[in-house]
């Protein structure tokens, strides 16, 4: 358990409870097209309703640049949420001010209101004092369940907490902290970390932090080519960061020193051309084991020997943390490696498996294995910053146990 106080540890009955949720959902034709983020917050809302609280929900949606924009209204979320909860959700067209205070003042126990997008005000992202105080006036208790926004010090994630006596974590937030925090701080071993994605520069701090915790680190995706360069290999036209080879080499050295098994792909799928928009690739083949990637060719996925090597490591793990695809998984022809990893993680039912946000979440969902893993993080940038060991402002602002 993390040291942050949970909503389960306080009395909320009859209280006005202001919940910062993450309802930043995709909309199509004015309707919610993927309600996963709404579903993820249901346990917290249901808990509050069961306890007889008055639930006031707030969130951001998109990037409306500090002014009202109907395109980013949270109104469609009210309907989708009411369907899920089976109770009415009253939508308010503002998130603060007299009309909101009046409406909240008339709420009865067990009622739910949803405020309009907090990012319709420039003060939200500036963590403005007036907005923080105005939000605070709505609440006896503040609950943060928006892990995905906790890396930002905004009025609704940080500032507001100075104006509410009790500030606690929601059940989703608690789960995120338990899996990304506790399970990686004190993992059942062996602890195998799988990292992929586009750039070493985006993930080097995560690699560095996990080198202190993991037993094995498996590297895939374009990131692997910078490591290949660092070891004197050639990567042809593959996406790589030649200016980061020193950083990559340092990570390899640190792994050696710490006794962490650090595995790079031993073979790759390579292509002559990629058309990302058309989702097609040109001529393709696999490299032999240890072979360089020739000029004019681009690495787009891990090869079958690498898949077998990584699968063996994953099968023996007691804790697995995965962040980042093994190749350009958005293109079907380059997705085999990523989906094989998803399958291998799902197949190991004896381990705690954590999908650490971002594109690996999309990959696991697309592969159909999402219900076979222990936890899928709802945070993208927040998950990475948390795994780097950074203190997230939205977490730091909550009461400690
Ligand atoms: P990230 O956000 O860092 O996890 O990166 C995810 C992106 O990395 C996805 O859009 C992938 O298509 C991309 N990616 C993974 N492997 C490769 C590769 N070999 N070449 C180019 N892009 C890649």
CATH number at residue 313: 3.40.50.1260
Per residue in 173-228, pLDDT (tens digit) is: 999 999 999 999 999 999 999 999 999 998 999 999 999 999 999 999 999 999 99
In a domain, 181, yes or no: no
Which uninterrupted H or E stretch holds 253?
Answer: helix 245-258
Count of structural domains, the chain:
2
More confident residue, 146 or 357: 146
Per residue in 91-124, pLDDT (tens digit) is: 999 999 999 999 999 999 999 999 999 999 999 9
How many angstroms separate the alpha carbon of residue 25 from the centre of ligand 1? 23
| Ligand 1 atom nearest residue 300's Cα | 19
Catalytic annotation present for 381: yes
- Which residue has its alpha carbon closest to ligand 1 atom 12? 328
Catalytic annotation present for 170: no
How many angstroms separate the alpha carbon of residue 32 from the centre of ligand 1? 27
The residues, any chain, with a CB within 8 Å of residue 276's CB and separated by 6 or more, are: 328, 330, 331
Q: Residues 15, 16, 20, 37: which is the catalytic one?
A: 37
- Which residue has its alpha carbon closest to ligand 1 atom 5? 197
At 326, is the secondary structure helix, strand, or coil? coil
Is the domain of 210 the same as that of 112? no
| Ligand 1 atom nearest residue 268's Cα | 19
In a domain, 381, yes or no: no
**Taking 90 as the threshold, does the pLDDT of residue 2 lie above it?**
no
- Which residue has its alpha carbon closest to ligand 1 atom 6? 197
How many angstroms separate the alpha carbon of residue 236 from the centre of ligand 1? 17
Whether the Cβ atoms of residue 44 and residue 97 lie closer than 8 Å to each other? no
Angstrom distance (rounded) from CA 300 to CA 271: 7
Per residue in 138-182, pLDDT (tens digit) is: 999 999 999 999 999 999 999 999 999 999 999 999 999 999 999
Global pTM? 0.93
The residues, any chain, with a CB within 8 Å of residue 166's CB and separated by 6 or more, are: 10, 140, 141, 142, 399
Is the domain of 255 the same as that of 160? no
User: What percentage of the chain has pLDDT greater than the value 70?
Assistant: 100
In which band, very low, low, confident or very high, does the pLDDT at 272 lie, cut at 50, 70 and 90? very high
Give strand pairing partners of 6: 169
Q: Where are the alpha helices (DSSP H) in 127-211?
A: 129-136, 171-176, 183-185, 200-210
Is the domain of 14 the same as that of 151? yes
> Where in the sequence is the domain holding 46, given as residue range(s)?
7-174+392-396
Q: Residues 75, 137, 199, 305: which is the catalytic one?
A: 199
Q: Which residue has the tokens 């690498």?
A: 306
In a domain, 382, yes or no: no
How many angstroms separate the alpha carbon of residue 274 from the centre of ligand 1? 13
Q: Which of 359, 377, 384 is the best mutation target for the ligand 1 pocket, counting ligand atoms within 8 Å of the beta carbon and taking the most?
A: 359
Is the domain of 25 the same as that of 111? yes
* Residue 239: predicted pLDDT: 97
- Which residue has its alpha carbon closest to ligand 1 atom 1? 197
How many angstroms separate the alpha carbon of residue 301 from the centre of ligand 1? 9
The CA-based angle 212-169-13, given to 5 degrees, is 160
How many angstroms separate the alpha carbon of residue 319 from the centre of ligand 1? 24
In a domain, 160, yes or no: yes
Average the pLDDT over 320-333 and give the result: 96
Angstrom distance (rounded) from CA 304 to CA 94: 54
Is the domain of 75 the same as that of 30? yes
Q: Residues 316, 381, 389, 390: which is the catalytic one?
A: 381
Q: Which of 198, 235, 237 is the best mutation target for the ligand 1 pocket, counting ligand atoms within 8 Å of the beta carbon and taking the most?
A: 198
In a domain, 228, yes or no: yes
Is the domain of 160 the same as that of 130? yes
Is the domain of 318 the same as that of 279? yes
Is the domain of 113 the same as that of 198? no
In a domain, 183, yes or no: no
| Ligand 1 atom nearest residue 301's Cα | 19
Is the domain of 156 the same as that of 72? yes
Is the domain of 162 the same as that of 207? no
**Taking 50 as the threshold, does the pLDDT of residue 1 lie above it?**
no
| Ligand 1 atom nearest residue 299's Cα | 19
Angstrom distance (rounded) from CA 191 to CA 193: 7
In a domain, 374, yes or no: no
Per residue in 48-100, pLDDT (tens digit) is: 999 999 999 999 999 999 999 999 999 999 999 999 999 999 999 999 999 99
Angstrom distance (rounded) from CA 114 to CA 93: 9
* Residue 380: predicted pLDDT: 86
How many angstroms separate the alpha carbon of residue 330 from the centre of ligand 1? 9
In a domain, 312, yes or no: yes
Is the domain of 237 the same as that of 326? yes
* Residue 357: predicted pLDDT: 78
How many angstroms separate the alpha carbon of residue 366 from the centre of ligand 1? 16
* Mean pLDDT (the chain, rounded): 96
Q: Residues 324, 358, 379, 394: which is the catalytic one?
A: 358
Q: What is the DSSP letter of 181?
A: I
Residues having CB closer than 6 A to ligand 1 are 197-199, 202, 221-222, 239, 299-300, 324-325, 327-328, 330, 358-359
Is the domain of 167 the same as that of 53? yes
- Which residue has its alpha carbon closest to ligand 1 atom 18? 222
> At residue 349, what are phi and psi to the nearest 5 degrees?
-80, -5
CB atoms within 10 A of CB 274: 20
In which band, very low, low, confident or very high, does the pLDDT at 358 lie, cut at 50, 70 and 90? confident
CB atoms within 10 A of CB 155: 30
């Amino acid at each position: 358990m993390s040291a942050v106080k949970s909503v389960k540890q306080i009395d909320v009955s009859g209280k006005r409870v202001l919940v910062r949720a993450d309802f930043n959902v995709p909309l199509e034709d004015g309707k919610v097209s993927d309600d996963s983020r709404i579903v993820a917050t249901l346990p917290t809302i249901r808990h509050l309703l069961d306890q007889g609280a008055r639930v006031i929900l707030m969130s951001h949606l998109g990037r409306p640049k500090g002014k009202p924009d109907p395109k980013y209204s949270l109104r469609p979320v009210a309907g989708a949420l009411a369907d899920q909860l089976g109770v009415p959700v009253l939508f308010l067209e503002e998130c603060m001010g007299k009309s909101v205070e009046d409406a909240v003042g008339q709420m009865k126990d067990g009622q739910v209101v949803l405020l309009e997008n907090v990012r319709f005000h420039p003060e939200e992202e500036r963590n403005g004092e007036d907005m923080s105080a105005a939000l605070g006036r709505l609440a006896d208790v503040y609950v943060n369940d928006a892990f995905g926004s906790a890396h930002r010090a905004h009025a609704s994630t940080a500032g507001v907490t100075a104006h509410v006596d009790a500030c606690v974590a929601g059940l989703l937030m608690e789960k995120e902290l338990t899996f990304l925090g506790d399970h990686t701080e004190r993992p059942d071993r062996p602890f195998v970390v799988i990292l992929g994605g586009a750039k070493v520069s985006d993930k080097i701090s995560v690699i560095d932090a996990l080198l202190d915790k993991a037993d094995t680190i498996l590297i895939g995706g374009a990131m692997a080519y910078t490591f290949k360069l660092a070891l004197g290999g050639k990567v042809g036209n593959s996406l790589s960061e030649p200016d980061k080879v020193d950083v990559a080499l340092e990570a390899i050295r640190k792994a050696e020193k710490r006794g962490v098994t650090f595995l790079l792909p031993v073979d790759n799928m390579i292509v002559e051309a990629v058309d990302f928009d058309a989702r097609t690739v040109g001529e393709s083949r696999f490299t032999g084991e240890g072979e360089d990637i020739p000029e004019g060719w681009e690495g787009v996925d891990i090869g079958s020997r690498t898949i077998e090597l990584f699968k063996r490591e994953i099968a023996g793990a007691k804790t697995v943390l995965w962040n980042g695809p093994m190749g350009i998984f958005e293109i079907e022809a380059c997705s085999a490696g990523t989906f094989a990893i998803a399958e291998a993680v799902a197949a190991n039912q004896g381990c705690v498996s954590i999908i650490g946000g971002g594109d690996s979440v999309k990959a696991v969902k697309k592969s159909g294995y999402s219900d076979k893993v222990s936890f899928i993080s709802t945070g993208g940038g927040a998950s990475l910053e948390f795994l780097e060991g950074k203190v997230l402002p939205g977490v730091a602002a909550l009461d400690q146990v």
